[in-house]
Amino acid sequence: MTHTLPTDAELAASLAGDFISDFAEVNGVRLHHVTGGAGEPLILLGGWPQTWWQFRKIMPELALRYRVTAVDLRGMGGSAKPASGYDKKTMARDIHELIRHLGHRSAFVAGHDIGASLGYHLAANFPASVRRLATLDLGVPVDAWQAIPMLPSSDEQEAALAHGRGGYPWWFALNQLRELPEQLLAGRFRLLIDWLYGHMLADQSSVEEQARQIYARAYDSPDAIRAGNGWYQTMRQDIADLATYPPLTLPILTLAGEQSYPALREQMSPEMGADIRVVEIKGSGHYLPEEQPEQVTRELTAFFG
C-alpha cells in the first residue's frame, strides 16, 4: 500500500513552534524556507542529500529561544534548481539576501555538511550578516581536498567498509560527472540514501523510514540530482575563493561526530579563524542533528546565548 508523503507545509505544521513553510525571491532564485519560534534570528543550512527536514528534531527546542529559519539551499528540496550559481560565494549572497528579506540585519547561522561550508563563505563575504557561526561535521573545502583518497588504503579500512562502517567520499567524484548520475539514480535515489546512512550513522534508527522517503522524494528527479551535484562541481572555484579570504574573526563553533573529530580539530585551525572551538558529539556519526539532537541543541544554545 502506497502512502502519500506529507508536503513541506504539512511537515512544518507538525512541529511545535508555529512553523510555516514559505518562499522568498532572493538573488534571482526562489528559496523555500520554514520559519517559526520567537527571539533572535537563527538560520539553519542543511546538506546533501537531505532537505530542511534534517533539522526537525532540533527546531522545536531552538524555537523556544530563537526565531528559527531552516532553508532549502539553491537546488535543494522546494527551492529552485537553476542551471548555475552553485558556487558557495553565489549561494552566500542567496542567504545574505534571505536574512534581509526576513527582516533581520544579521543572524546566528548553523550549517551542516554543505551548509557548513556555505556558512563559512557567508561569514567571509557578508560578515555583517553573521553574528556567530556553527559548522556541523564538515570543514571548508581547501586545496588538500582535491587529493582525498577515494579507495581504502589498508586491509583494515577495506574490512571496515565491507561491514558498513565508515566510508571513502567516492560520491565527491561521482557528483563531478555530468548527466551520468542523473541517468543512474533518477527514481532510485533511496538506494544511495540508505547506503550513506548505513555507513555514516552510529544508530540506524535515528533516521526513521518517513524521513528517508522524504529525502528520496526530494532527490529522485534528474533535475534534483543535477542541482545537488552542482554543490560539488564548484569545489575548485570554492577553494579558489577561499584562498582570497583572511581568517575569520567572528566566534565559530565546530561540532564533529566521533569519526570526524580528529580531522576537524586539525582543519579548523587559526588559519581558518581567530576564535574557533571544536567539540566532539559523542555517539554520533555524520548526521548530528538527527543522531544526537539533544547534544546539538545544548551546544548551539550555549554558543549562541
Return the pLDDT at 146.
Answer: 86
Q: What is the mean pLDDT of the chain?
A: 95
- The pair phi, psi for residue 195, each rounded to 5°, is -65, -50
Split at pLDDT 50, 70, 90, the class of 159 is confident
Determine the Cα–Cα distance for residues 178 and 91; give it in Å rounded to an integer: 21
| pLDDT (0 to 100) of residue 167 | 65
Q: With b meaning 16 or more CB within 10 Å and e meaning fewer, what string describes 225-252?
A: bbbbbbbbebbeebbebbeeeeebebbb
Q: Which of 97-111, 167-181, 227-241 has the lowest mean pLDDT?
A: 167-181
Asked if omega into 49 is within 30° of 0 (cis), the reply is: yes
| E strand or H helix at 75 | none
Spatial CA neighbour of 273 closest among 239, 247, 243:
247
Question: How far apart are alpha carbons 254 and 72 in whole angstroms?
Answer: 21
**Three-class DSSP category at 104:** coil
C-alpha cell at 14: 507538525
- Does residue 183 belong to any structural domain of this protein? yes
pLDDT band at 166 (very low <50, low <70, confident <90, very high): low
Q: State how many domains the chain has.
A: 1
Q: Is residue 79 part of a domain?
A: yes
CATH number, domain of 71, equals 3.40.50.1820
- The answer to whether residue 299 scores a pLDDT higher than 70 is yes
255 domain residue, yes or no? yes
pLDDT band at residue 186 under the 50/70/90 scheme: very high
- pLDDT-derived band of residue 153, with 50, 70 and 90 as boundaries? confident
8 A C-beta contact, residue 94 and residue 74 = yes
pLDDT at 219: 98
Task: Decide: helix, strand or coil at residue 160.
Answer: helix
- Residue range 65-91: average pLDDT? 98
pLDDT band at 305 (very low <50, low <70, confident <90, very high): very high
Nearest to 75 by CA among 17, 116, 30, 39: 30
Q: What is the spatial distance between Cα 223 and Cα 229, in angstroms, rounded to a whole number?
A: 10
Residue positions counted in the chain: 305
pLDDT at 77 over 60: yes
Q: Is there a domain that residue 1 lies in?
A: no
How many Cα atoms are found within 13 Å in the side-chain-facing hemisphere of 286?
20
Per-residue pLDDT, averaged over 25-52, amounts to 98
User: Contact 253/133 with Cβ under 8 angstroms?
Assistant: yes
Entry pTM: 0.96
- Summarize pLDDT for 245-278 with one digit per residue, the tens: 999 999 999 999 999 999 999 999 999 999 999 9
Range of the domain at 217: 8-304
Residue with cell 534571482: 28
Summarize the confidence of residues 139-150 as an average pLDDT.
87
Radius of gyration of the chain measured on its C-alpha atoms = 18
How close are the terminal C-alpha atoms of the chain, in Å? 47
In a domain, 2, yes or no: no
Residue indicated by cell numbers 528540496:
77
pLDDT of amino acid 1 = 38
Plot region of 108 (φ>0 → left; ψ -120 to 50 → alpha; else → beta): beta
Residue 251 domain-assigned (yes or no) = yes
Looking at the domain assignment, is residue 3 inside a domain? no
C-beta of residue 70 within 8 angstroms of C-beta of residue 55: yes
Quick check: 164 pLDDT over 70? no
In a domain, 174, yes or no: yes
